[in-house]
Amino acid sequence: MDLRLSFLLSAAIVFVGSHVILSQSLRRPLVGLLGQAGFMAVYSIIAVVTLGWAVFAFGAAPRGPYAWEPYSLWAWIAAMALTYVALLLFVGSLSGNPAAPSPKAAELAASKQPAGVFAVTRHPMMWGIAIWAFSHILLVPEPRTLFLLGALVVLALGGSAMQDHKKQQQLGEAWTGWQARTSYLPRLSGFASVPPVKWLIALALWLAINWLHLPLGGVAAGLWRWVG
C-alpha cells in the first residue's frame, strides 16, 4: 500500500478509535476527573485534531484506482437522492431528540411518541451522516474516499449502537420504552410522518449546499451540474 494511503488509514483508525474509547471506557473516569464540561472540551479537541489529521491525509493521498467510473450518471442520481434524505434526517433530528444531552432527556424519552424523522429511526442524525458519506463513496469509489468517509459510516452507525447501550445505562426504563417504540434501522414508512415544512427546509438546504459545492469543492453538484 502507498505510504500516503497508510497514513490516511492510520488517521481514520485513530479518528474512530479515539471516539469509541473516549465515549465508552474513558468517559466515566474522565468526567469524574474533569467534570462534564471539562470532559466535553477534551473530547471536542481530540475530535477536531483527529478529524483534521484525517482530512489532511486525505488531501495528500493519491487518487484512484477506481472501482467503477467516478462521477458516473447513475452515481450522481443516487447521490442526489441520498444527500437529500440525509439532510432531511439531519434537520429533523435537531429538535425533540431524546438522545441529545439534556436534563430533560429521561422525561422526553419516556413520554415522546415517535413522529417526524424519529418515526424513521431513533438515530436520524447518525443515519444522515452515514448516508451522506456513503453517497460520496458511490461518486468517487477510490481507496482514499473509502478510508475517510468509510470511517464516518462506521463511527455513525457503530456509535448509534453504542449510544443505545450508554443511554440505557443513563436513562433506564425511559430509554427502554423509547427503544421499544422506535427502530435502529430506518423504516421507509416513517417518512410519511415527516411534516412538509421539514421536507421544504431540507430541500432549500440541499439546493444551497449543492450550489456552494462548486466554489468550495471544485465540483458542480446536484441540479447545478446540469443547470447554469
Question: HSE of 224 in the Cβ direction (CA atoms, 13 Å)?
Answer: 14
When pLDDT is averaged across residues 4-14 and rounded to a whole number, the result is 94
pLDDT score of 36: 81
If asked whether residues 94 and 195 sit together in one domain, one would say yes
Domain holding 149, by residue range, is: 66-227
64: left (phi over 0), alpha (psi -120 to 50) or beta: left
If asked whether residues 106 and 203 sit together in one domain, one would say yes
If asked whether residues 45 and 77 sit together in one domain, one would say no
The last residue of one of the domains, among 40, 62, 84, is 62
If asked whether residues 116 and 129 sit together in one domain, one would say yes
- Indicate the average pLDDT of the chain: 89
If asked whether residues 98 and 27 sit together in one domain, one would say no
The last residue of one of the domains, among 39, 62, 85, is 62
If asked whether residues 33 and 87 sit together in one domain, one would say no
31-45, 53-67, 140-154, 174-188: which range is least confident on average?
31-45
61: its cell numbers? 493521498
The pLDDT > 70 percentage for the chain reads: 97
If asked whether residues 198 and 218 sit together in one domain, one would say yes
pLDDT score of 228: 56
DSSP sequence for 90-148: HHHTTSS-TTS--TTHHHHHHHPPP-GGGGT-S-HHHHHHHHHHHHHHHHS-SHHHHHH
If asked whether residues 13 and 71 sit together in one domain, one would say no
If asked whether residues 86 and 109 sit together in one domain, one would say yes
Tens-place pLDDT, residues 42-97: 889 999 999 999 999 999 999 989 999 999 999 999 999 999 999 999 999 998 88
Tens-place pLDDT, residues 144-157: 999 999 999 999 99
If asked whether residues 28 and 91 sit together in one domain, one would say no
pTM of the model: 0.90
CA angle 121, 123, 128 (to 5 degrees): 95
Rounded to an integer, what distance in angstroms lies between the CA atom of residue 198 and that of residue 88?
A: 7
With a cut of 80, say whether residue 109 has pLDDT above it.
Answer: no
If asked whether residues 30 and 86 sit together in one domain, one would say no
Taking a C-beta distance cutoff of 8 angstroms, is the pair 30, 22 a contact?
yes
pLDDT score of 82: 96
Rounded to an integer, what distance in angstroms lies between the CA atom of residue 91 and that of residue 199?
A: 9
If asked whether residues 115 and 179 sit together in one domain, one would say yes
H or E element: which one contains 47?
A: helix 27-60
Count of domains observed in the chain? 2
Rounded to an integer, what distance in angstroms lies between the CA atom of residue 62 and that of residue 1?
A: 11
